[in-house]
Amino acid sequence: MHEASEEEIRNLIDIIEAVAKGNYSNEVMEFTKPGHSEMIQRIAEAMGMMMVRVEAREVRLEQLIDELRDLNALLQKNITQTVITIANALGARDKYTKGHAYRVSVYSERLARKVGLSDEEVEKIRIGSVLHDIGKIGFSDRVFSDEDVSISEGIFEEIRNHPKIGVDILKDLTFLGPVLDYVHYHHESLDGTGYPGGLKGEEIPVGARMISVADCFDAITTDRSYQKGRTMEEAFAILRKIGGKNLSPELVEAFIEDIKEKGMF
Ligand SMILES: [Fe+2]
């Protein structure tokens, strides 16, 4: 057993410095072999053991991060589902609203897929559609009245407020991301005459424009207290007529194509 040479020590230091930077090669194990001084062998063995422990901890840490990510996704899913359940309770107050959010969500999801959006974007649009009218939870009973009441200024104002109320309800659920904008802007109009922002054209998020098309189609084809639901063909004609003024014409055409292919409720 000889004394450690300066070169041996320098080589070992180089490897230890590389390990310190996260480069866990097995080179250090070379220094545990016979032929090296006892001191060098002991340092190399200790270093080898330390690397094994650090690597094991890193693997465990990565597992924990994965578990945490999965748990967070599950938590977000459960919170979203809880909010959707609350939104569905709207149906108990208004027989027109019953099933509306679900139908709009199916139509919007199909439209988003048809225009080639990613799975993640499609899912945000689906959630936005289910929740788009959650702000109606704040409506007074007179808005839900089945009688053909003339719309007073107060009721009109209340109705126009529902996108804003919806965002206020959801705004702390920051993980919803663009969903908040979809809820906020689902009553905007391409020509800037919509509410609440008076946004024009592409200022309106595309997800919100998709929900608008689906929302209009469902409103036209569903029986209301004041009118019987129109046929599919009549609804297409109305959508085309307001396409360009209120709705994005290219989305209207993609939507019509989708309904022709897959049908309606
Ligand atoms: Fe709405």
CATH of the domain at 136: 1.10.3210.10
Is 51 found in the same domain as 107? no
Domain check: are 105 and 53 in the same one? no
Spacing, Cα 81 to ligand 1 middle (Å): 20
How many angstroms is it from 187 CA to the middle of ligand 1?
Answer: 6
Query: Do 100 and 152 fall into the same domain?
Result: yes
CA of 244 to the centre of ligand 1 (A): 20
- CA 44 to ligand 1 centroid distance, Å: 69
Distance 218 CA to ligand 1 centre (A): 12
76 CA to centre of ligand 1 in angstroms? 24
What is the SS3 assignment for 143?
coil
Q: Which pLDDT score, from 0 to 100, does residue 204 have?
A: 98
pLDDT of residue 3: 84
CA of 177 to the centre of ligand 1 (A): 19
Is 106 in the same domain as 49?
Answer: no
Domain that holds residue 25: 6-62
pLDDT of residue 216: 97
pLDDT at 222: 92
Q: How far does residue 120's CA lie from ligand 1's centre (Å)?
A: 23
Average pLDDT for residues 216-227, to the nearest whole number?
90
Quick check: bond before 196 cis, omega within 30?
Answer: yes
Average pLDDT over residues 113-118: 98
- 132 and 241 belong to one structural domain: yes
Residues 140 and 205 in one domain: yes
Q: How far is CA 173 from CA 48, 72, 83, 128, 129, in A?
A: 47, 13, 10, 13, 16
**Is the separation of the CB atoms in 5 and 40 below 8 Å?**
no
Same domain, 123 and 232: yes
* Domain termination residue (choose one: 62, 83, 104): 62
How confident is the model over 125-183, as pLDDT tens digits? 999 999 999 999 878 777 766 555 566 778 888 889 999 999 999 999 999 999 999 99
Residue 129, domain member (yes or no): yes
pLDDT at 145: 61
Helix (H, G, I), strand (E, B) or coil at 92: helix
- Has residue 33 been placed in a domain? yes
**Distance in Å, CA 260 to ligand 1 centroid:** 25
| 144 shares a domain with 202 | yes
Ligand 1 midpoint to CA 87 (Å): 12
For ion ligand 1, residues whose CB falls within 5 Å: 133
Distance 223 CA to ligand 1 centre (A): 17
Clarify whether residues 134 and 241 are in a common domain: yes
